[in-house]
Structure 1
Amino acid sequence: MKLNNGLLALEEDYVFSEVSRRVRRFASQNPDARLISLGIGDVRGPICPAVTRAMRQAVADQARQRTFHGYGPEQGYQFLRQAVAAALTQRGAPVPPRDIFISDGAKTDLGGIFDLFAPGGAVLLCDPTYPAVRDDCRMRGMRPVSLPGTEANGFLPLPPAGDGEVDAVYLCSPANPTGAVYDRDQLAAWVEYARSREALLIFDSAYESFITDPKLPRSIYEIPGAKNCAVEIGSFSKVAGFTGTRCGYTVFPTELQVRGVSLQGLWRRRLASRSNGVAYVVQRGAAAVYSPAGRQQTARALAVYRENSRRLAAALTAAGLPHWGGQHSPYLWLKCPRGLSSWGFFDFLLQYGNLVGTPGIGFGPMGEGYFRLSAFGDPASVEQACDRLPRTLEFLR
């Protein structure tokens, strides 16, 4: 039996698994510690009433012969595809329902999209970036090529010079982990680059709902020419609290072709073999996110996380720690004080402040010396964390 060399080459522990391991060990040794987690990007608030009401009705549908649903369409029910398309169109990114494909979350499609490529191809990844994407590249025999994100470029790398062959580019905006957001001109440069190289631009818009400035694009399809080179992967996890319910979508424009081959057609064929679709109950809940009540209720939940971001940013400023993100993102990216390494600062915060974050090195080599905090917490815990942070840093003086 021959094993997958790409899988064998992965680091033994995924960064969030190692965070959990260290936290469990500390908690077992310090049972009285009151830990506050600002680490993993998991929401804390419940799913809103409009969504749960729709899901209860969908469960009732499944209990009646007349309204029972078995296998659904692999690409998603039309009612949800229409709702997603209408929302994108309303935001200035017109997309027809036929281009929408429903999934059980952005992470699934981010991994699966590399099935489209022959092994050995090059994928440009911002560094630091969401670590699962780099792992997905390696597992499928692709070659990740890092684009350094630095303080000098605002953690927003632009297209590289040179004529090297490129198969795909992965961008996340607002970015995980740095919270940086590409503007229209910057995304236009990436669209031009992808089209000139006949490369696929993979645009991760999981955090688009945190953008409040109308001048900043929330969809790649707000950029002219993007439908000829880009797919967009969206999620209900953060906007509607679906981290445990699981639903997302990917947009494959009809215009997107490579050497005369429709990528939408390839994706549709892949889904036919790989998926039986997302549960009817979940899709009904996701569609309710776009109802008038759903929009109002999810907006209130997002406002809580935005306020958490504001408080954390104010605490970091008061503590004199350079930081980025937070304004249009649930993540704050800070520079570790006193030259501490990422894991060194993690252990310091855990021991002296009983605070949990995510070490930057887990997002790539360029993340060393940086640290990510998440605003996905309940307000009371975030307020306590903001009080603890300056007192904790006193131990470094």
Structure 2
Amino acid sequence: MIPNMNYRNLKDSYLFYNIAQKTKAYLEEHPEKHLYRMGIGDVSLPLCDAVIQKLHEAVEDQASQDTFHGYMPECGDPQLRKTIAAYYQKRGVVLSDEEVFVSSGASDELGDILDLFGKEKTVLIMEPAYPAYVDANVIAGNTIIHIPAGEENGFVPMPDFSIMADIIYICSPNNPTGAVFNREALQAWVDYANQINALILFDAAYEAFIEEEEIPHSIFEIDGARNCAIEICSLSKTAGFTGTRCGYTVIPKEIFRGGMNLNQMWVRNRTTKTNGVSYIIQKGASAVFSEEGQKQIHDYIQIYKKNGACLMDVLDRLGIWYCGGKNAPYIWMKCPNGMGSWEFFDYLLREIQVVGTPGEGFGACGEGYFRFSTFGSPEDTKEAARRLEVLLRKKKLITY
């Protein structure tokens, strides 16, 4: 057997594994303590009633010969594909249902999609970055160019036309920073990609959290994107599907590279490598896009947004720099008093039992910053925010 030697180039441990090990060790030493977990971006609210009802119906369908479903179409249930295309139409984005592919979630698809590009490609990844972007490309043997982002550009970097690449990752609203790319910034990246013949992988997993009208929800709201972009989205954070697993990918039919059509290539890939997402899950997913489902998930998102507002109010009172929160479920704060991000993690865990995510885990540009997730319970978030304010005022760690 010849192994994939690229695995040797992966970091020894994964960011969230390290966090889990640290919190486990702390609880073993302090079993009486309650942790306020605002680190990993997992949801805390249950699936909405509209989804649950459809899931139950689908289970009952599987119990009857007349309504039983076996294998589903590999690219997705035709009706769900049409439903998702109609969802885009509401924002003025015209898609055919054949351009929509139902997936088992954005994380799976972000790795699988690299099958389209062959070996030894050059990839631009904006840093700080979701770790899976980097790791998937390390495993694939691609060359990674890190594009740094920081406070000076609001963690929204712009293209450098002196750099050539094959693939560009853009996540907006961004994980981990919560920053969003406005229309002008996205247009600049689309123009850049078209000029250098690169392809954009646009991660839109958090688009449902955007509340400002001028911020695009989809890359396909931008002129020229249909020639250079693939959009990957998820129902995990939109509708609480983290444990249910469903998402979708949009590949326009206009995209050709090397004389080959990427939409047709992805059809071939899916029909070769998958047997489709289960009937039960797809029927539940269809309810997300119903009028009732949209209202219910919007109500849930507002609860998470109130969590964000609670944290942002504290940071505003303390005078601590941050971005995100308003259009995203993440708040990216500057560590006080020049503390390192893992140092700040240990400090919060030890002093007030609050768990966040060290910015360094998202790349070198994240050192000195810290991410809070707003997906926790309102009660825990409120208490965590209170403890944070009391601690930093008491220790006078609110000056740089």
TM-score bracket for this pair, using the shorter chain length = over 0.9
Number of the residue aligned with 1:233: 232
Q: Does 1:65 align with 2:100?
A: no
Q: Does 1:54 align with 2:54?
A: yes
Tell me, in whole angstroms, the C-alpha distance in 2 between the residues paired with 1:93 and 1:44: 31
Number of the residue aligned with 1:207: 206
Number of the residue aligned with 1:244: 243
Number of the residue aligned with 2:92: 92
1:1-397 maps to which residues of 2 (within 5 A)? 1-162=1-162, 164-393=163-392, 394-395=394-395
CA shift for structure 1 position 228: 0.6
Tell me, in whole angstroms, the C-alpha distance in 2 between the residues paired with 1:349 and 1:2: 45
Equivalent residue letter for 1:98: E
CA shift for structure 1 position 29: 0.5
Cα-to-partner distance string for 1:156-190 (whole Å, 9 max, x where unaligned): 1111131x431100000000000110011110111
Tell me, in whole angstroms, the C-alpha distance in 2 between the residues paired with 1:365 and 1:119: 26
Tell me, in whole angstroms, the C-alpha distance in 2 between the residues paired with 1:113 and 1:245: 21
Tell me, in whole angstroms, the C-alpha distance in 1 between the residues paired with 2:292 and 2:167: 39
Contact 2:159 2:192 in 1 (8 A): yes
Cα-to-partner distance string for 1:19-74 (whole Å, 9 max, x where unaligned): 01100000110111111000000000000000000010000111111111111111
Tell me, in whole angstroms, the C-alpha distance in 2 between the residues paired with 1:92 and 1:155: 28
Tell me, in whole angstroms, the C-alpha distance in 2 between the residues paired with 1:55 and 1:118: 38
Query: What is the root-mean-square deviation of aligned Cα atoms in Å?
Result: 1.0
Tell me, in whole angstroms, the C-alpha distance in 2 between the residues paired with 1:374 and 1:316: 14
Tell me, in whole angstroms, the C-alpha distance in 2 between the residues paired with 1:2 and 1:21: 32
Name the stretch that deviates more: 265-274 or 76-85. 265-274
CA shift for structure 1 position 396: 5.5
SS in 2 for 1:152: helix
CA shift for structure 1 position 118: 2.4
Equivalent residue letter for 1:186: A
Tell me, in whole angstroms, the C-alpha distance in 1 between the residues paired with 2:218 and 2:230: 10
Equivalent residue letter for 1:231: I
Contact 2:161 2:192 in 1 (8 A): no
Tell me, in whole angstroms, the C-alpha distance in 1 between the residues paired with 2:312 and 2:69: 47
CA shift for structure 1 position 2: 2.7
CA shift for structure 1 position 194: 0.7
Name the stretch that deviates more: 67-76 or 386-395. 386-395
Q: For this pair of structures, how many residues does the alignment match?
A: 396
Equivalent residue letter for 2:274: S
Cα-to-partner distance string for 1:56-114 (whole Å, 9 max, x where unaligned): 00001111111111111110001111111000111122211110001100000101111
Tell me, in whole angstroms, the C-alpha distance in 1 between the residues paired with 2:20 and 2:84: 35
Tell me, in whole angstroms, the C-alpha distance in 2 between the residues paired with 1:70 and 1:281: 10
SS in 2 for 1:102: strand
Equivalent residue letter for 1:281: I
CA shift for structure 1 position 337: 1.0
Tell me, in whole angstroms, the C-alpha distance in 1 between the residues paired with 2:201 and 2:153: 21
Tell me, in whole angstroms, the C-alpha distance in 2 between the residues paired with 1:165 and 1:39: 35
Cα-to-partner distance string for 1:240-260 (whole Å, 9 max, x where unaligned): 000000000000101111132
Cα-to-partner distance string for 1:208-259 (whole Å, 9 max, x where unaligned): 0010111110000000111110000011001100000000000010111113
Tell me, in whole angstroms, the C-alpha distance in 2 between the residues paired with 1:82 and 1:322: 43
Percent identity between matched residues is: 44
Moved over 4 A (4+): none
Instruction: Give the TM-score normalised by the residue count of structure 2.
Output: 0.97
Equivalent residue letter for 1:378: S
CA shift for structure 1 position 5: 2.0
SS in 2 for 1:243: helix
Tell me, in whole angstroms, the C-alpha distance in 2 between the residues paired with 1:124 and 1:155: 15
Equivalent residue letter for 1:225: G
Equivalent residue letter for 2:150: T
Tell me, in whole angstroms, the C-alpha distance in 2 between the residues paired with 1:333 and 1:165: 29
Equivalent residue letter for 1:175: N
SS in 1 for 2:242: coil
Equivalent residue letter for 1:248: G
Cα-to-partner distance string for 1:250-304 (whole Å, 9 max, x where unaligned): 0010111113210011111111121111110000011101111101111100010
Equivalent residue letter for 1:132: A
Instruction: Give the TM-score normalised by the residue count of structure 1.
Output: 0.98
